[in-house]
Amino acid sequence: MEFLRSATGMATSSLLPPLCPNAYRTSLPFPMASTLSVARLRRRTFRGRVVAGPIRVVASSSVTTRDQGGGRTADFGRSETSADSLRGVHEFERELQELFDEVKDMIAVGKHEDAVSLLQANFEAVKGEIDSGSRSIEEAAVLDVVALGYMRIGDFKMVETILEMMDEVVGRIYADGSLLGSVLMHMGSMYSSLGKFEKSTVMYRRSISITEQLYGETSTFLVMPLLGMAKALGSIQRTAKATGIYCRAINILELSRGPESEDLVVPLSGLGNLLIMEGKVDEAESPFVRILSIYKTLYGDKDGRVGMALSSLAHVKCAKGDVNEAINLYKKALQIIKDSNSMALDDPMMEKMRIDLAELLHVTGRGNEGRQLLEECLLISEKSKGKDHPDSVRHLLNLATSYSRSKNFVEAERLLRTGLDKMMRTLRPDDPSISFPMLHLAVTLYCLKRDEEAEELAKDALLIREEAFGEDSLPVGEALDCLISIQTRMGKDDDKLLALLQRVLKIQEKEIGCESEEVTVTLKKIVFYMEKLGKKDEKVQLQKRLSVLKMKYKQMIHY
């Protein structure tokens, strides 16, 4: 059983901690629109009042030099008219920035309704102009800010609606200006957040093309869209192309800022993660070793960033199978971060490192050391959030898992009941989070041979999950599997158990795949019950399918 790392109660994968300095972040990254000239002004609602806008802009042909990668602004030839136009453009961008900042501030202080009202007012204003036939960069830019605001609020359905509208607008804009490139880059990022990676790559590709035309193929302005493009491609398993794009971003930064620049950390980390995902762990080690070297050179051996880099390198060592080296690196990382005071003890990244290290210690038979780390996580959580905070429950579950591994089911039961009691006192009875300690407790009681109690808890967890996640969801399949094990030992009706197993199989085929190892194990159980119930005709077809899968997983299935 894997230790829990998230507040949902679900076990999360051991992802690398982000090594992402704010090298490429701005409050709202609209570049200076120095290639735009104003044609005319209309009126637009931004901050609950009417201000000048939108401005209709066209690409200027006055670019005389290009940014060659040093991050300097290009030299543009301008007439007196273009200078006046530029002032109008800057005013427009200033108002966009003010709108975005105001929405951020409202969300930060919990005024979500006010933020939504402000965003909706601007959305309706732009929609009215689009409905009247206007299709220009100004509509796209305002919609961009509104969509980014809804992203912060978490209204992804509204974001999707706005992106569809933006897609139509930018599809009719052919003047390649820097503002358009920035809008397209934001669209690529938002499409990625929605899981629409193919669409994301289309937006990033066009943004990159515009930036290359404006500033050249080695400009640092390309780094942001290149990194976004690489991440999106990696998400759809186009890893070879993603690797090439990460390497291009690295080369651009090396050319402009040198091989020891901290800005290299982001693309190097992205490249390393991608190589791990491909299973190329030997190649993945090099980017993380280089990140460690950069941080040591810039900040010294005792800086907290060095600790984070060591943690990432530990993850690579673990993937390579060098568990003892990974343990040593994790310990060193935690000590450096703690001594440097660079991160709060209750920071989620610190917590994740402790849990990852605890899991490795358990794997290598050093359960007592691992349990000490899990107890430390619990104490820190209780100190920072209070003993009754639901967040402490996952640490109680982790400790219970540790004790279960050591066959100390009595202590595991005590911890699980404590956690379940906390959740029952602070959450609704049907909150899906409650089902996780509930199901863990059912398993523990099963191990203690208290089957009637275990069955009741498993049934309660199943009902909660069916309501929360849907009857054909993986969490429901997990609860069913637990219930089947309990009822099998209780000698429940074989026909009913077979029906439950068939339901589990359906869920697994849908959610995991028809040839997954989990499906193979469930098929084996179904064949057993069909044989027991004399359903020979139905058994034959499943047995043929099982035979094929057994060949695939013959090293994994134990009879």
Helix ranges restricted to H, 490-516: 494-511
Contact call for residues 439 and 469 (beta carbons, < 8 A)? no
Which of 289, 368, 364, 357 has the alpha carbon at shortest distance from 327?
Answer: 357
User: How far apart (Å, rounded) are the C-alpha atoms in residues 392 and 388?
Assistant: 8
Which DSSP category does 253 fall into? H
Could you list the pLDDT tens digit for every one of the 559 residues in the chain?
Answer: 466 555 444 333 222 222 232 333 333 433 333 222 222 223 344 444 333 333 223 223 232 333 434 433 333 233 333 455 556 557 777 888 888 899 999 999 999 999 999 999 999 999 999 998 888 888 999 999 999 999 999 999 999 999 999 999 999 887 657 789 999 999 999 999 999 999 999 999 999 999 999 999 999 999 999 999 999 999 999 999 999 999 999 999 999 999 999 999 999 999 999 999 998 999 999 999 999 999 999 999 999 999 999 999 999 999 999 999 999 999 999 999 999 999 999 999 999 999 999 999 999 999 999 999 999 999 999 999 988 888 899 999 999 999 999 999 999 999 999 999 999 998 899 999 999 999 999 999 999 999 999 999 999 999 999 999 999 999 999 999 999 999 999 999 999 999 999 999 999 999 988 888 888 889 999 999 998 898 888 888 888 888 887 777 665 444 3
Residue 225 tokens read as 């869209």
pLDDT reported for residue 72: 34
User: How far apart (Å, rounded) are the C-alpha atoms in residues 458 and 460?
Assistant: 5
User: How far apart (Å, rounded) are the C-alpha atoms in residues 242 and 276?
Assistant: 13
CA dihedral 166, 169, 173, 176 (to 10 degrees): -10
Helix ranges restricted to H, 300-408: 304-320, 323-340, 348-363, 367-385, 392-405
H, E, C per residue of 87-139? HHHHHHHHHHHHHHHHHHHHHHCCCHHHHHHHHHHHHHHHHHHHHCCCCCHHH
- Render 228-282 in DSSP notation, one character per residue: HHHHHHHHTT-HHHHHHHHHHHHHHHHHHH-TT-GGGHHHHHHHHHHHHHTT-HH
What are the C-alpha distances in Å from 82 to residues 61, 76, 79, 86?
11, 10, 5, 6
> Tokens 């009706």 label which residue?
493
Is residue 18 reached through a cis peptide bond, with omega within 30 degrees of 0 on the bond before it?
no
Contact call for residues 38 and 76 (beta carbons, < 8 A)? no
User: How far apart (Å, rounded) are the C-alpha atoms in residues 434 and 424?
Assistant: 7
pLDDT reported for residue 549: 79
Which of 268, 244, 243, 241 has the alpha carbon at shortest distance from 254?
Answer: 268
Contact call for residues 385 and 391 (beta carbons, < 8 A)? yes
User: How far apart (Å, rounded) are the C-alpha atoms in residues 90 and 92?
Assistant: 5
Which DSSP category does 262 fall into? G
User: How far apart (Å, rounded) are the C-alpha atoms in residues 344 and 452?
Assistant: 44
User: How far apart (Å, rounded) are the C-alpha atoms in residues 239 and 77?
Assistant: 42
User: How far apart (Å, rounded) are the C-alpha atoms in residues 333 and 269?
Assistant: 17
Is residue 21 reached through a cis peptide bond, with omega within 30 degrees of 0 on the bond before it?
no
Contact call for residues 30 and 179 (beta carbons, < 8 A)? yes
Q: Could you tell me the sign of the dihedral formed by the alpha carbons of 531, 536, 539, 540, in that order?
A: positive
Which of 38, 28, 33 has the alpha carbon at shortest distance from 180?
Answer: 33
User: How far apart (Å, rounded) are the C-alpha atoms in residues 17 and 8?
Assistant: 19
pLDDT reported for residue 322: 94
Q: Could you tell me the sign of the dihedral formed by the alpha carbons of 354, 356, 360, 363, in that order?
A: positive
Contact call for residues 224 and 22 (beta carbons, < 8 A)? no
pLDDT reported for residue 62: 30
Which of 130, 138, 170, 166 has the alpha carbon at shortest distance from 150?
Answer: 166
Output the furthest CA–CA distance in the chain (Å, rounded): 92
User: How far apart (Å, rounded) are the C-alpha atoms in residues 549 and 530?
Assistant: 18
User: How far apart (Å, rounded) are the C-alpha atoms in residues 68 and 75?
Assistant: 12
Which of 268, 253, 200, 258 has the alpha carbon at shortest distance from 222?
Answer: 253
- Indicate whether this model's pTM tops 0.85: no
Q: Which residues contact 203 (CB under 8 A, 6 or more apart)?
A: 184, 185, 187, 188, 191
Amino acid type, 414: R
Q: Which residues contact 528 (CB under 8 A, 6 or more apart)?
A: none
